[in-house]
Amino acid sequence: MDEKTALEELKFIRKIIDETRQSVVYNGKDYIFWGILVIVGMMSMYIFILNGIYFKYFYIWLVLISIGWAFSIYNGRKQEAKFPSTFAGKLIGNVWGVSGIAITIIGFVGTVSGTINPMAISPIACIIMGGAYYLTGKLCEANWMSKLAYGWWIGGIALLFIKTIESFLIMSLLMLFFQTIPGIIIYRRYKKEIMVKS
């Protein structure tokens, strides 16, 4: 092997590594699904309260959150079967898993125990999600995702002051602009990547 061949080999190795990293993509379906679920939940509560229909809204969330977790587990397994696992990918999965568990505990156990005011769930969820977005952006080297964290944190601070039913509308908007739409962007990139590969 001479110098030229060695250089070609190194270029070849670099190419394979770069291509593999680029092809390890995430489909973003979780972001869209959870975004829509929370918007449905928030808007339902807004409409029910506005029309004076009162019942234990806890059950709406119990159904929606259960559907969300079932979908996330199903989507995660599908992704796992299709794409190789990376250390960063596993970290991102854990960041979202831990954040989701924290929000679920606060939302359900916190309110059922009476320790947490139900109106505090949205701002707490926003602050936790801001952290999850920030870390995800850093781990997958996507600055735009890290920047979404500021939107969540500002939204969380605003919701700490807004204690009326309009907070449900604000949370829906946050879910739309900082969760569902970014999810659609990720999904479109994923589809594009799949098309290029096929």
Partner 1 sequence: MSEFDHQQINDIIHSRIRLAVIALLISVEDAEFNFIKEKVNTTDGNLSVHIKKLEEAGYVSVKKEFIDRKPRTSYSLTKNGKKAFEIYIDHLETLTKK
Angle, CA 175 vertex, CA 171 and CA 181 arms, to 5°: 155
How far apart CA 73 and CA 64 sit, in angstroms, is 14
Query: Quick one: which of 58, 62, 78, 192 contacts partner 1 (CB under 8 A)?
Result: 78
Q: Which is nearer to partner 1, 70 or 157 (CB)?
A: 70
Q: Quick check: 196 binds partner 1 (CB under 8 A)?
A: no
Q: Which is nearer to partner 1, 84 or 114 (CB)?
A: 84
Q: Which residues contact 162 (CB under 8 A, 6 or more apart)?
A: 170
Q: How far is the CB of 28 from partner 1 (least distance, A)?
A: 19
Q: Which is nearer to partner 1, 77 or 163 (CB)?
A: 77
* Residue 56 Cα distances to 20, 48, 61, 118, 154, angstroms: 49, 11, 10, 12, 29
Q: Scan residues 21-40 and list those touching partner 1 (CB under 8 A).
A: 21, 23-24
Q: How far is the CB of 183 from partner 1 (least distance, A)?
A: 23
DSSP-derived secondary structure for 26-48: ---HHHHHHHHHHHHHHHHHHHH
Q: Quick check: 192 binds partner 1 (CB under 8 A)?
A: no
Choices 7-15, 60-68, 136-144, 150-158 (CB under 8 A): range interacting with partner 1: 7-15
Task: Evaluate whether 174 touches 128 at the Cβ level (below 8 Å).
Answer: no
Q: How many residues bind partner 1 (CB under 8 A)?
A: 28
Query: Quick one: which of 48, 57, 83, 108 contacts partner 1 (CB under 8 A)?
Result: 83
Q: Scan residues 39-58 and list those touching partner 1 (CB under 8 A).
A: none
Q: How far is CA 34 from the centre of its chain?
A: 7
Q: How far is the CB of 66 from partner 1 (least distance, A)?
A: 20
Q: How far is CA 132 from the centre of its chain?
A: 8
Q: How far is the CB of 21 from partner 1 (least distance, A)?
A: 5
Q: Which residues contact 153 (CB under 8 A, 6 or more apart)?
A: 126, 127, 130
How far apart CA 103 and CA 121 sit, in angstroms, is 8
Q: Quick check: 70 binds partner 1 (CB under 8 A)?
A: no
The residues of the shown chain that bind partner 1, judged by CB under 8 A, are 1-3, 6-7, 9-10, 12-13, 16-17, 19-21, 23-24, 77-78, 80-87, 90, 197
